[in-house]
Structure 1
Amino acid sequence: MTIVLSIIVGLGLFFTVGFATRAGLQAAAPLHHKPMFRDMPLTASFGLAVIVIYVVVASLAPAIAPYGEGEVLGAQYLPWAAPHYLGTDKLGRDTLTRLIYGARNTVGIAFATTALAFVVGAVLGIWAALVGGRLDQWVSRFVDALMAIPALIFSLLLLTIFGTSVLTLILVIAAVDSTRVYRLARSVAQGIVVMDYIEAARLRGEGMWRLIRREILPNAMAPLVAEFGLRFCFVFLSISALSFLGLGIKPPTADWGSMVRENATLITFGDITPLLPAGAIALLTVAVNFVVDWQLHRASGLKE
């Protein structure tokens, strides 16, 4: 009965948030954008609302959180009750506070990592497709060799060698994921560089970086934006997995992956506290995929 009630409440919340977000966007949007939001699916509007909530919570974490990020307040594993509405962890820190700060740390680091991976991978991929020849072959074979190594194992190896600081974590995961971005950017750019307008731009004497910035990148933007959303999900999950294994964001910095590990013992006593950070990870992943699916559908030009 409890499961059925939870499903009903979840569906009600989904439809309420989806309809309210779509109506609000449609009302606030300029006249020429209103049809886009009117046709937005409920999944996309719900996902957009969730992303906005996460961004607001992450940005305002110090103002929203009731206590300090690493502040020890009392006994360990206190039950859900005021003033600790989600209890405390194994060190006596407030779980709600850790969840809020975890949004800032986990999401912020994942976004910075994804952005760096995209800058490196997209620029290299488009450049290789534009130059072609042996350079393209050498870079592509090197990327193929890196992609042949499982990403999580490769990340674990590099973090073990270079340490587990936040900067190292960002650089390692960005380097691993930039190979995937490179393959996509190169594939998309290869279909663009053979177009007549690229040849015309070359005949006008435009340089390589101007070709990339003014001709290729705008035409490759739709698949790259969609891949950015998907790649963010993978990076987000990778950081959480590494933190769960003890090689991600180091304590006392709050992180959802490490919070699952720290409170995992509560599952044996029927306490769902470890599922809260896991649920936060899953919800953001699903929300980003909803929005990416909508953007891919719009970019494809397909109609229902």
Structure 2
Amino acid sequence: MSRIPVSAWIGLGSTSVFVFAALFAQLIAPYGLSEVVGEVWEPFSAAHWLGTDNLGRDLLSRMIFGAQTTLAIAALATAVSFSLGAILGMTAAVIGGWVDQMMSRGVDLLMSIPTLIFALVVLSVLPSTVLTLVLVMGILDSTRVYRLSRAVGVDVNVMEFVEAARLRGEGRWWIISREILPNALATLVAELGLRFIFMVLFLSALSFLGLGIQPPQADWGGMVKENKDGIVFGIPAALIPAGAIALLAISVNLVADWVLNRTTDLKGGRSDG
């Protein structure tokens, strides 16, 4: 524990606070999600630590419930993205040939369309549910994970230990899970933090544009939209959720950088031995 750098401690501490708020939102929020408890845009006070929002709801409570929604959906979408992208990318790298070409050209086609525009078109015609949102975000983002995992898989696939596994008669799934994936783990871990933050930003952008989380549910992007008019009058209600998004992005990236360095050091130590 003493070898953990200060930056990683900061990232772990901040991320833990967000995760704790998300897990126990119903227990620690001072007021209900949609409970009107005061006047519109009240300033900071002992009763309302972050003031109130555009409808007179407690902003701290909305932030806590927003953390629960934002982190849960971003985590689920990241899981879909990585599961789909990593499996397909490494499968394409191992099989190669026309299978690789067809999958890669299909991914290129999807990536040629701006992700946000594609998501807006799809979500405008599909039912506005959390499941739809998670699947759309995860599938669209899996193209980036596919390209990364395929590139790493192609490099590892030509290594001598992979050829030795083939000569032993090991199957493709065994080679992917036992040979390629462990050696690609450091790169994927670093990308995992980036993709999670991208999902948070993606969800916030969709909610800000009205196609993400629908009222009265709270997420940070939607809270920025709800309170943006207050900026003109010097009301910080829209800046607080925006600051939370920025702080979460920095915290997760600090943790991801530390995990990447730790994983790389461990691999280097084993190879040196």
Asked if Structure 1 and Structure 2 have the same fold, meaning a TM-score greater than 0.5 normalized by the shorter chain, the answer is yes
* Whole-angstrom CA distance in 1 between matches of 2:173 and 2:264: 27
Residue of structure 1 in register with 2:249 after alignment: 285
Of 71, 75, 84 in structure 2, the residue corresponding to residue 107 of structure 1 is 71
Residue of structure 2 in register with 1:174 after alignment: 138
SS in structure 1 at match of 2:39: coil
After superposition, the CA RMSD in angstroms is 1.5
* Matching residue's letter, 1:46: I
Cα displacement string for residues 4-32 of structure 1 (whole angstroms, at most 9, x for unaligned residues): xxxxxxxxxxxxxxxxxxxxx42xxxxxx
* Whole-angstrom CA distance in 1 between matches of 2:127 and 2:107: 24
Cα displacement string for residues 116-152 of structure 1 (whole angstroms, at most 9, x for unaligned residues): 1000000000000000000000100110111111111
Residue of structure 2 in register with 1:163 after alignment: 127
Identity of paired residues, percent? 55
Is 1:94–2:58 an aligned residue pair? yes
SS in structure 1 at match of 2:22: helix
Residue of structure 1 in register with 2:113 after alignment: 149
Per-residue deviation at 1:298? 4.0
Per-residue deviation at 1:82? 3.2
Of 179, 184, 192 in structure 2, the residue corresponding to residue 228 of structure 1 is 192
Is 1:259–2:223 an aligned residue pair? yes
* Whole-angstrom CA distance in 1 between matches of 2:25 and 2:233: 30
* Whole-angstrom CA distance in 2 between matches of 1:271 and 1:126: 49
Of 182, 186, 190 in structure 2, the residue corresponding to residue 218 of structure 1 is 182
Are 2:190 and 2:256, in contact at CA under 8 Å, matched by a contact in 1?
A: yes
Cα displacement string for residues 87-117 of structure 1 (whole angstroms, at most 9, x for unaligned residues): 2222221111000111110011101100110
Larger mean Cα displacement after TM superposition, 197-206 or 106-115: 197-206
* Matching residue's letter, 1:104: Q
SS in structure 2 at match of 1:263: helix
Is 1:63–2:27 an aligned residue pair? yes
The TM-score normalised by the length of structure 1 is 0.84
Cα displacement string for residues 244-278 of structure 1 (whole angstroms, at most 9, x for unaligned residues): 11111111111110101111111111121211000
Per-residue deviation at 1:210? 1.5
- Superposition pairs of residues 236-255 of structure 1, within 5 angstroms: 236-255=200-219
Larger mean Cα displacement after TM superposition, 77-86 or 128-137: 77-86
Residue of structure 2 in register with 1:29 after alignment: none
The TM-score normalised by the length of structure 2 is 0.93
Is 1:131–2:80 an aligned residue pair? no
Cα displacement string for residues 199-248 of structure 1 (whole angstroms, at most 9, x for unaligned residues): 22122222221211111111111101110001111111010111111111
Is 1:199–2:199 an aligned residue pair? no
* Matching residue's letter, 2:118: F
Of 149, 157, 172 in structure 2, the residue corresponding to residue 185 of structure 1 is 149
Query: Larger relative CO (CA 8 A, sep 6+): 1 or 2?
Result: 2
* Whole-angstrom CA distance in 2 between matches of 1:239 and 1:185: 24
* Whole-angstrom CA distance in 1 between matches of 2:105 and 2:192: 23
* Matching residue's letter, 1:223: T
Per-residue deviation at 1:283? 0.3
Per-residue deviation at 1:296? 3.4
Unpaired runs of at least 5, structure 1: 1-24, 27-35
Unpaired runs of at least 5, structure 2: 269-273
* Whole-angstrom CA distance in 1 between matches of 2:63 and 2:56: 14
Cα displacement string for residues 159-188 of structure 1 (whole angstroms, at most 9, x for unaligned residues): 112132111110001011000000000000
The alignment of Structure 1 onto Structure 2 pairs a total of residues equal to: 266
